Structure 1
Amino acid sequence: MAIFRKDSVPIAEAVSGYPDPWNLGRGFLSYRHLTEAGGLTQFGIALETLHPGKQSSQQHWEEHEDEFLYMLEGELTVIEDESETVIHPGDWCCWKAGVPVAHVLKNRSGKPATYLIAGSRIPKNVCHYPGLDMLATDAGYTHLDGTPYPTKGENE
């Protein structure tokens, strides 16, 4: 199917997959996986809403995956390394694969912020989290020395 209606994809509540102590919990953002509904495999696009007072992820950069954001409603603070920029509807951001600009979104406003987020789906990607003892690989989260973090249930 090529055509989808506005509310045809259900809203999902984000649940952080980061290992402790970096886990963000649940409910920090909600999203609709738009390209999942269409069965697309080469890139992913989601309609995300970051809730007030929350952040989207841990600050990171990707070795092999391009990322793109287009702001629709509200305002976000985009943190890139040590620089902060507030963006509004109509603004967009591009993070090129392999360029070590660590970024994160924070909603410091009192209202939800909604945006389209897109990324390539390159296998064997490595995600770096500067300042944290953590990498994300196809095999899961590891410490910088390559030691895997326990998966949920292993340490409970």
Structure 2
Amino acid sequence: MSIVSKPANSMNSEGVFEPFPIADVPWEEFAKGQRFGMRFQHLSSYGGATQIGVANEVLLPGKQANPAHYHMLEEEHVFILEGALTLRLGDKAYIMSAGQYVCFPAGQKQGHALFNHTDVACRYLIIGNTQANDVAVHTETGRVAVKLMGVGYSGTATMDYWDSMNIDE
């Protein structure tokens, strides 16, 4: 008996990315502690995209997708497909349900976070432009993530312009 594996993407034998059913895209899961977690499918990368990211995400009851944050270069869009969730945007909270949409423009200095306050799963599309040089500011912790460097910095790890320079040479 042979096992037929699913392809890694929607590319055909000529190197052309073709349409595909989202059921072909593998599910991934993320969980961190009791508070954070979701299931998601990277639709755009499966379809060959390199500049725009599209993910089908499922947020289970009582879970938050990510810590509150904003991006300096990347723009994010959320379109609710099924269920409902609470969007925390700065100091405000908004209940969003199927058919509602929100955009987080790059540089909008209000942290955003998605939390499922209901007892059923919420499914939504998240769309964004991938930026290799993006900087994300996490508003709850003060952490600043520099994508290009693959690291994050906190408000307590600061450097003066002349720190670590040997100015006596």
Q: TM-score band, normalised by the shorter chain?
A: 0.7 to 0.9
Q: Distance in 1 between matches of 2:129 and 2:79?
A: 15
Q: Distance in 2 between matches of 1:2 and 1:15?
A: 32
Q: How does 1:1-156 map to 2 (within 5 A)?
A: 1-16=17-32, 24=33, 28-138=37-147, 139=149, 140-146=151-157
Q: Structure 1 residue runs of 4+, over 3 Å off? A: 24-27
Q: CA RMSD in A?
A: 1.7
Q: Which runs of 5+ in 1 are unaligned?
A: 17-23, 148-156
Aligned residues: 140
Q: What letter corresponds to residue 91 of structure 2 in structure 1?
A: E
Deviation at 1:11, TM superposition (A): 1.0
Q: Is the 8 A contact 2:22 2:43 kept in 1?
A: no
Larger Rg: 2
Q: Is the 8 A contact 1:14 1:26 kept in 2?
A: no
Deviation at 1:67, TM superposition (A): 0.4
- TM superposition score normalised by structure 2: 0.77
Q: Distance in 2 between matches of 1:116 and 1:106?
A: 15
Q: Distance in 2 between matches of 1:100 and 1:27?
A: 22
Q: Please name the residue that 1:150 is paired with.
A: none
Structure 1 residue matching 2:22: 3-state secondary structure: coil
Q: Distance in 1 between matches of 2:139 and 2:107?
A: 14
Q: Which runs of 5+ in 2 are unaligned?
A: 1-16, 159-169
Structure 2 residue matching 1:131: 3-state secondary structure: coil
Q: Distance in 2 between matches of 1:63 and 1:77?
A: 23
Q: Distance in 2 between matches of 1:117 and 1:131?
A: 21
Deviation at 1:143, TM superposition (A): 1.5
- TM superposition score normalised by structure 1: 0.83
Q: Is the 8 A contact 1:64 1:98 kept in 2?
A: yes
Name the CA shift for 1:144/1:2 in 2 (closer, same or farther; >3 Å). Answer: farther
Q: Distance in 1 between matches of 2:140 and 2:37?
A: 22
For CA contacts below 8 A with separation 6 or more, give which structure has more relative contact order.
1
